[in-house]
């Protein structure tokens, strides 16, 4: 049977201290309860008022009941067979309550006996209720709470705290802002795809930060002292010393990454330039027969002048021959060959003058599409006499020798005459002696848009020489700004409006946290920022080359065995050999919950049954160089089922040792 994934049932935000703005009757408790609800959204589009009040009232009752036993540790989650309820208070008197449905699988319907079918044959058929098997491990409390807190931090970053909005703008403005933000945020949340365990442990720090941070700190000396610089190398962060001490929320990095604009296209991009040189050469060297010109005549403008071909001068007609079904010979065959009426062929072949004009026009068309090989022309300057081998012509019926003649005419008027093509369509190796002065003159004139190349029709609609010889430059990146609310003292309700300026160059982003009233003129010039980003990029390339040179060729057994994964969380940052640690099992979440409990647990080793993977959770990273203990957590997953507990402990010790050495 198909498994139904877990999902959000409803989400609500309320404040039990609020009172109705309009006076109501003393016994109207529903109006008072409704005034306390600031936001509500549910999977069902239409929910009655009574049902909303019952759901919020149940949450209040559970919290009040738990406060009787321990006022400092109120109820945070409730488990049932089919649902999970999560309650948390991000600010005083404000509560966020969410209800989730765990994954479930419908049971197959039980088969009825013949006796039951005979006894109930005359009764009307009734629809039986489907029985489900619920999967309790499909969702975990820590991941749900972490995601809800992350959404609240993102709202606070872009709008401010709930208390400040309520006091400054009023309840109606707060309800409007909550609805606009959390409605979109709640239903974009896919619990099944949210398997990145390390996403809520901290900001992923770049593995080469020991080499990149000094470059950023040196550039930070050019910035004002009250600013905080950092660099984004998606999906990693390169923090400066100021950023590490500021302790900004994790959602700040994700918010800036979401505002990075996509790479800009080149100016005047031409589809011809996007093709490969082999494709352009095959296009320019391929001949065009009279049948092909006739087939494409309706796509080219013509005026019927003497310069055009006889076929191009013909008016456009959409002729549909009403052949019987047994004479169509398949519809696919008609698209491969062009059908020309006998009368039109007689008209074209009986006039020698028209045939001559057609050949001259074909020569001009072939000159217009000649492609210039810049690299070959540059290499030709080094010698006085260059021998260019003539390319063999295509043996297909549509090819001809005229594209090659157009190429020789394009290079210069002093080039030798190319021998005619034999009847078999082949030619012996022939070389063309072209003086280097002619090639140098062609290159000089091709770079000058005002001077046409000798033997070239400048009015032809082909790619300009400047686009062929010079690479188009991208526009200079500029600063973009966004306004955020950041906490300076570490308290939840104490936030200030700050402005963040960011500049992106070649997928690297430089960001600077400044005061809200800062001006763009006080920022570092864009040229210096781009130069600093180029230095960071060069350091990354050099370090990767060193690592590749020192790496040894792994054995076949090591290649085939699954790779161990781990993530280290310390100081609000995470470090991992990959972009993160994704896990669909609950072992790591259970280990994290035990580390954060009051049981004073230091490490947890667990092993699954199917698959038999080891999961390790450890608190404390050892002793640093200064002799002080290093605070942090490490989570590891080993996918080798033949590993013993001793092997797993040795792997964990090696990961921690390498972290402390850097």
Digit-coded pLDDT (tens) for 394-431:
444 444 444 434 344 443 444 444 444 444 444 444 44
Over 80: is that where the pLDDT of 33 sits? Answer: yes
**Span 455-490, pLDDT tens digits:** 444 444 444 555 544 445 567 788 999 999 998 766
pLDDT for the residue numbered 377: 59
Please, what is the angle between helix 587-595 and helix 141-159, to 10°?
A: 70
pTM for the predicted model, two decimal places: 0.67
Q: Percentage helix, strand, coil, to 5, in the chain?
A: 40, 20, 40
pLDDT for the residue numbered 455: 44
pLDDT for the residue numbered 453: 44
Over 90: is that where the pLDDT of 237 sits? Answer: yes
Torsion sign (Cα): 582, 585, 588, 593 = positive
Rounded to 5 degrees, φ, ψ at 276 are -75, 160
Considering only 209-218, 265-274, 519-528, which range has the smallest mean pLDDT?
265-274
pLDDT for the residue numbered 16: 94
What's the first-to-final CA gap in the chain, in angstroms? 51
pLDDT for the residue numbered 2: 86
Torsion sign (Cα): 431, 436, 441, 446 = positive
pLDDT for the residue numbered 280: 42
Q: Are 610 and 554 in contact (CB under 8 A)?
A: no
Over 50: is that where the pLDDT of 91 sits? Answer: yes
d(CA 590, CA 228): 37
Over 70: is that where the pLDDT of 640 sits? Answer: yes
d(CA 338, CA 148): 65
Considering only 154-158, 221-225, 409-413, which range has the smallest mean pLDDT?
409-413
> 575 vs 202, 572, 613, CA distance in Å?
9, 10, 21
Name the DSSP letter for residue 94. Answer: E
pLDDT for the residue numbered 118: 55
pLDDT for the residue numbered 372: 55
Considering only 218-232, 251-265, 338-352, 360-374, which range has the smallest mean pLDDT?
338-352
pLDDT for the residue numbered 302: 44
Domain ranges for the chain: 7-106+132-188, 203-261+478-550, 556-661
Greater confidence (409 vs 606) lies with 606
Q: How many Å is the Cα radius of gyration of the chain?
A: 37
Name the DSSP letter for residue 383. Answer: S
What confidence tier does 526 reach under pLDDT thresholds 50, 70, 90?
very high
Rank 170-179, 313-322, 439-448 by mean pLDDT and report only the highest.
Answer: 170-179
pLDDT for the residue numbered 243: 94
For 432-452, what is the mean pLDDT? 49
Beta strands 385-389 and 431-435: pairing type?
Answer: antiparallel
Over 80: is that where the pLDDT of 651 sits? Answer: yes
**Span 34-79, pLDDT tens digits:** 999 999 999 998 899 999 999 999 999 999 999 888 888 888 899 9
Over 90: is that where the pLDDT of 312 sits? Answer: no
pLDDT for the residue numbered 275: 44
Over 80: is that where the pLDDT of 657 sits? Answer: yes
Rounded to 5 degrees, φ, ψ at 635 are -125, 135
Over 50: is that where the pLDDT of 555 sits? Answer: yes
d(CA 217, CA 461): 52
pLDDT for the residue numbered 474: 60
pLDDT for the residue numbered 113: 59
Please give the CATH number for the structural domain made up of 7-106+132-188.
Answer: 3.30.450.70
Over 90: is that where the pLDDT of 1 sits? Answer: no
d(CA 457, CA 409): 11
421-424: long-range contacts, CB 8 A cutoff, minimum separation 24: 421/393
What 3-state class would DSSP assign to 269?
Answer: coil
Tokens of 462: 């082909």
Over 90: is that where the pLDDT of 303 sits? Answer: no
Greater confidence (638 vs 580) lies with 638
Greater confidence (560 vs 258) lies with 258
């Amino acid at each position: 049977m198909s498994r139904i994934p877990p999902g959000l049932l409803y989400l609500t935000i309320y404040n039990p201290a609020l009172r109705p703005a309009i006076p109501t009757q003393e016994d109207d408790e529903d109006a008072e309860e409704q005034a306390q609800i600031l936001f509500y959204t549910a999977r069902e589009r239409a929910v009655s008022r009574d049902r909303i009040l019952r759901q919020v009232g149940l949450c209040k009752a559970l919290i009040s009941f738990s406060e009787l036993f321990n006022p400092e540790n109120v109820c945070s989650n409730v488990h049932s067979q089919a649902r999970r309820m999560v309650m948390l208070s991000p600010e005083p008197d404000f509560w966020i309550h969410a209800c989730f449905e765990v994954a479930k699988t419908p049971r197959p319907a039980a088969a009825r006996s013949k006796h039951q079918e005979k006894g109930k044959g005359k009764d009307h058929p009734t629809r039986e209720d489907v029985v489900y098997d619920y999967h309790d491990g499909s969702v975990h409390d820590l991941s749900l709470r972490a995601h809800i807190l992350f959404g609240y931090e993102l709202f606070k970053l872009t709008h401010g705290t709930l208390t400040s909005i309520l006091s400054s703008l009023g309840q109606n403005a707060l309800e409007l802002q909550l609805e606009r933000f959390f409605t979109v945020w709640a239903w974009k949340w896919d619990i099944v795809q949210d398997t990145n365990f390390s996403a809520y442990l901290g900001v992923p720090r770049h593995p080469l930060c020991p080499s990149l941070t000094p470059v950023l700190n040196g550039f930070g000396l050019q910035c004002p002292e009250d600013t905080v610089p950092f660099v984004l190398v998606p999906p990693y962060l390169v923090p400066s010393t100021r950023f590490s001490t500021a302790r900004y929320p994790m959602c700040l990095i994700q918010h800036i990454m979401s505002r990075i604009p996509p790479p800009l296209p080149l100016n005047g991009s031409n589809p011809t330039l996007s093709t490969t040189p082999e494709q352009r050469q095959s296009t320019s060297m391929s001949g065009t027969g009279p049948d092909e010109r006739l087939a494409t005549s309706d796509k080219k403008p013509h005026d019927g002048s003497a310069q055009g071909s006889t076929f191009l001068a013909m008016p456009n007609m959409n002729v549909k021959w009403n052949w019987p079904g047994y004479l169509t010979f398949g519809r696919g065959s008609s698209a491969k060959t062009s059908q020309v009426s006998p009368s039109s062929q007689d008209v074209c072949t009986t006039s020698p003058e028209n045939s001559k004009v057609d050949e001259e026009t074909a020569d001009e068309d072939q000159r217009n599409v000649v492609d210039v090989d810049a690299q070959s022309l540059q290499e030709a300057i080094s010698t006085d006499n260059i021998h260019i081998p003539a390319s063999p012509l295509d043996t297909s019926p549509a090819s001809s020798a005229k594209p090659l003649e157009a190429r020789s005419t394009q290079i210069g008027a002093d080039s030798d005459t190319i021998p005619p093509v034999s009847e078999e369509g082949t030619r012996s190796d022939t070389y063309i002696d072209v003086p280097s002065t002619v090639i140098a003159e062609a290159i000089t004139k091709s770079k000058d848009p005002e001077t046409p190349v000798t033997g070239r029709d400048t009015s032809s609609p082909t790619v300009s020489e400047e686009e062929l010889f010079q690479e188009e430059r991208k526009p200079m990146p500029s600063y973009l700004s966004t306004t955020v609310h950041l906490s300076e003292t570490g308290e939840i309700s104490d936030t200030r409006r700050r402005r963040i300026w960011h500049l992106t160059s070649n997928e690297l982003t430089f960001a600077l946290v400044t005061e809200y009233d800062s001006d763009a003129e006080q920022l570092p010039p864009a040229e210096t920022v781009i130069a600093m980003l180029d230095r960071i990029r060069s350091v990354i390339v050099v370090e990767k080359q060193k690592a590749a040179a020192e790496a040894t060729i792994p054995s076949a057994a090591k290649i085939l065995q699954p790779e161990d994964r781990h993530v280290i969380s310390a100081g609000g940052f995470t470090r991992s050999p990959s972009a993160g640690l994704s896990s669909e099992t609950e072992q790591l979440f259970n280990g994290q919950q035990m580390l954060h409990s009051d049981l004073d647990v230091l490490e947890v080793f667990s092993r699954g049954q199917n698959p038999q993977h080891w999961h390790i959770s450890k608190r404390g990273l050892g002793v640093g160089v200064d002799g002080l203990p290093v605070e942090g957590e490490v989570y590891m997953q080993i996918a080798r089922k033949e590993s013993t507990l001793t092997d797993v402990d040795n792997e964990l010790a090696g990961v921690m040792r390498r972290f402390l050495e850097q």
